[in-house]
Amino acid sequence: MEKRESSETAIAIGSDTNEPHYKPINESIKEPSYATKDDQGSTTGDSSNLQPTHTNASEDGWEYVTEMKLYLVIGMVTLACFIMLLDTSIVATAIPSITSDFHSLGDVGWYGSSYLICNCALQPLSGKIYSRFSSKWVFMFFLFVFELGSMITALATSSNMLIVGRAVAGMGGSGLVNGALTIIAACVPLHKRAAYLGFMMSFGQIGILVGPLIGGALTQYTTWRWCFWINLPAGGVTALILFFLHIPSRIEKIPFRNNIKATLVSLDLPGFFLFAPTAIMLLFALQWGGTKYAWGSATIIGLFCGSAGNFAVFLAWEYKKGDDAMIPFSMIKIRIVWCSCFIMLFSFGTQIITAYYLALYFQAVRGVTPTLSGVYLLPTILSQMISAIISGVLVGRLGYYMPWAIASAVLSAIGSGLLATFTPTTSTGTRIGFQVIGAVGRGCGMQMPIIAVQNATPSKQTSISMSIVAFCQTLGGAMFLSFAQTGLNTGLKDALHQYAPEVSSQAVAAAGATGFRHIILPASVPGVIHAYSQSINHVFYIAAGAAVASFFRFLGHRVEEYQKGEDCQARSLIALYLVFFPNCVGKLSLGIAAGIIRPYI
């Protein structure tokens, strides 16, 4: 019996394996230990008196932010993430007005890609910077750069100036999400962290949902420049309040001025200069594939091959650097880390497709204004936020995140599949109910990969691991938006030939989702609407596929873990059954029933 306890404890503190022991969160944060300091470093004896080497329990003497100061910190980093994510989608509805002012139709692709490329390329380096310097001041620096980029964009007098402003804003935005995650990890104990992360992520990601709607309203009633001016007051309030708040640090940060050369070396700048072109070539391939160039063209294939080759060189360099690398191999080898990165990539793909194309459905198929489409999106917005907060609280109470993560993937897949059944005449009740199913799924799982990674990595690697997760989130959004746009273009062209053969597909595509009604004959409008509806349905199938991929990634990983037979894993399996199985069966039955009765509604 003692031998088994000793073995389990060794796994729990990570002394004998790179694979973190799967345990409930509330077990990794035990009651205060009364063992001596020497006892806590031992791997023998009573495991109840042992603490994991990276435990986040407040009784270990770590300083946490509490009460009103905590609410201010959470509120400010959430606001910063909101305006950053808002900026990723708000430009979509402002582009027609921008191109009219600057006569720059050929630069349309750069307005979004310049922001995305700079944001994605800098994220791993931003994690390394957070690990070396004060989280508070680094966060405020990235916020300043983001606001500077927004101001340049708002003041732009030419298309090139606007592109530069978007690139600068992307550089600043690269450090905001992982900075917010790092700050929350420093301010909140692990058993309470899921609830706060759920609030931050759910509220922040509302920016993606409402971005096109706010952008459309501002462009219609004021000017497109206000799409970027609105970032400045929000960022100013955030910086002002954070300036007077203290953010604790989990690890010792060496002042930059003490040893400039050593500090620069520790950032692994060669690794960054190898990683940046890898990300840039990949994103260019995703942005241009299926739109500017065919997927099989030499340009796209060359970009993919160049990205893969450069990535191989980057991995070799990181392996040589060891634990001093920008992305340490010791962290990548942890199964929970790379598994969570894949989950975040697929789940955010589902999230961003739903955000973009639900609004497109309401405006193109139902013919409503941007403002009214925002009202129609309220079931998604509210359900997702409430689900994220409730699941976060329950994770802190029950200590298990896996059941919610798997339930999230299943409900997201079912919800996305149900959205693919929408037609031009779908009833209001059906639209609301199907939105709620998918939104509850996305909400209850959005913070679970982050909780898993923070529970599996030591505090000194929290910022680095968060930057990798944030990078995968951004990459997932770029990938699946590209796939979705290709699917929409292809599906719309085929559907127009079937339902409105007399209409030019090029003319409909050029007019946009809300302008085609003004360029075609009234008799052709129903056929074009039906074609749009069917092509958007194909896009929701892509979202469902992404959710299914995240489900199987979770399921395959956990089945292998369950076979180890530890007691806590058996308890987790029971919790998985109790939380997930009844709900899953109910929703699956609803999905099957909806598919059967839809033709008769």
Residues 167 and 149 in one domain: yes
Q: CB 70: neighbour CB atoms within 10 A?
A: 17
Do 155 and 224 have their domain in common? yes
Domain with residue 106: its CATH number is 1.20.1250.20
Q: Which amino acid is at 208?
A: I
pLDDT of 537 strictly over 60: yes
The share of the chain scoring above pLDDT 70, in percent, equals 78
Q: Are residues 382 and 479 located together in one domain of the fold?
A: yes
Q: Helix, strand, or coil here: 501?
A: coil
Model pLDDT, residue 252? 67
> What is the distance between the alpha carbons of residues 378 and 110, in angstroms, rounded to a whole number?
31
Gap between the Cα atoms of 204 and 198, Å rounded = 10
Number of Cβ within 10 Å of residue 311's Cβ equals: 17
| Three-class SS state of 188 | coil
Residue at a domain's end among 304, 325, 346: 325
Q: Report whether pLDDT(105) > 90.
A: no
Show the DSSP H helices in 222-268 as ranges: 226-229, 231-243, 260-266
Residues 289 and 435 reside in one and the same domain: no
Q: Which residues contact 538 (CB under 8 A, 6 or more apart)?
A: 420, 487, 488, 491
Rounded Cα distance, 421 and 590, in Å: 13
Domain shared by 227 and 288, yes or no: no
| Position 597 pLDDT exceeds 50 | no
Number of independent structural domains in the chain: 3
Count CB neighbours of 3 within 10 A: 8
CB 442 within 8 A of CB 354: yes
Q: Based on the domain organization, do 138 and 276 belong to the same domain?
A: no
Contacts of 28 (CB under 8 A, 6+ apart): 12, 52, 55, 190, 455
Give the long-range contacts of residues 73-76, CB within 8 A, separation 24 or more: 73/183, 73/184, 73/187, 73/242, 73/245, 73/247, 74/184, 74/187, 74/196, 74/199, 74/200, 76/237, 76/238, 76/241, 76/242, 76/245
Indicate if 411 and 542 belong to the same structural domain.
yes
Average pLDDT over residues 222-241: 92
Residues 364 and 451 in one domain: yes
Residue 44 has pLDDT above 50, yes or no: no
**Beta-bridge mates of residue 293:** 289
User: Which token pair is 431?
Assistant: 């639209």
Q: Please give the pLDDT value at position 262.
A: 67
Is a pLDDT exceeding 80 seen at residue 327?
yes
- C-alpha distances (whole Å) from 126 to each of 62, 174, 358 are 24, 7, 33
pLDDT band at 254 (very low <50, low <70, confident <90, very high): low
Q: How many CA atoms lie within 13 A of 386 on its CB side?
A: 11
Question: Nearest to residue 89, comparing CAs of 198, 213, 189, 261?
Answer: 213
- What's the helix, strand, coil split of the chain in %, to 5? 80, 0, 20
Mean pLDDT of 566-574: 41
For residue 61, is pLDDT > 70? no
DSSP assignment of 269-291:
HHHHHHHHHHHHHHHHHHHHBTT
- In order, the DSSP letters of 368-430 are --HHHHHHHTHHHHHHHHHHHHHHHHHHHHH---HHHHHHHHHHHHHHHHHHTT--TT--HHH
Same domain for 553 and 478: yes
Q: Is residue 553 in some structural domain? A: yes
What percent of the chain has a predicted confidence (pLDDT) above 90?
Answer: 25
Domain membership of residue 157 (yes or no) is yes
Can you give the pLDDT at residue 258?
A: 59
> What's the pLDDT at 115?
87
Integer Cα distance of 303 and 294 in angstroms: 13
Boundary-marking domain end, from 279, 302, 325: 325
In a domain, 360, yes or no: yes
* Residue with the larger pLDDT of the pair 37 and 511: 511
Domain contains 537: yes
> Is 31 domain-assigned?
no
Angle CA(182)–CA(185)–CA(191) in degrees, nearest 5? 155
Q: Do the beta carbons of residue 74 and residue 129 sit within 8 Å?
A: no
Burial per residue of 228-256, b for 16 or more beta-carbon CB atoms within 10 angstroms, e otherwise = bbbbeebbeebbeebeeeebebbeeeeee
Query: Is 184 a domain residue?
Result: yes
> What does the pLDDT read at residue 223?
87
In sign, the C-alpha dihedral spanning 454, 78, 66, 25 is negative
Q: Is 293 helix (H, G, I), strand (E, B) or coil?
A: strand
Q: Between these two residues, 365 and 578, which has the higher pLDDT value?
A: 365
| pLDDT beyond 70 at 62 | no
Q: What is the pLDDT of residues 161-209, one digit of tens each?
A: 999 999 999 999 989 988 998 898 888 887 788 888 888 888 887 888 7
Residue 216 host element (H or E):
helix 190-221
Q: What is the pLDDT of residues 356-398, one digit of tens each?
A: 888 889 888 998 877 788 788 889 988 988 998 888 888 878 7
Q: What is the pTM of this model?
A: 0.74
Vertex 576: Cα angle to 573 and 578 (nearest 5): 110
Whether 401 and 432 map to the same domain: the answer is yes
392 and 368 within one domain: yes
Contact indicator for 463, 357 with CB cutoff of 8 Å: no
Alpha-carbon distance of 182 to 176, in angstroms, equals 10
Farthest-apart Cα atoms in the chain, separation: 83
200 found inside a domain: yes
DSSP single-letter state for residue 244 = T
How far is the C-alpha of 213 from the C-alpha of 296, rounded, in Å? 35
Is residue 77 within 8 Å of 184, Cβ to Cβ?
Answer: yes
- Residue 401 has a CB neighbour count (10 Å cut-off) of 25
Top-confidence residue, 375 or 547 = 547
CA distance linking residue 256 with residue 270, whole number of Å: 19
Which of 221, 250, 279 corresponds to the end of one domain?
250
Q: Are 463 and 599 found together in one domain?
A: yes
Residue 398 lies in a domain: yes
As beta bridge partners, residue 289 has 293
Q: What is the pLDDT of residue 461?
A: 79
* Domain that includes residue 194, residue range: 60-250
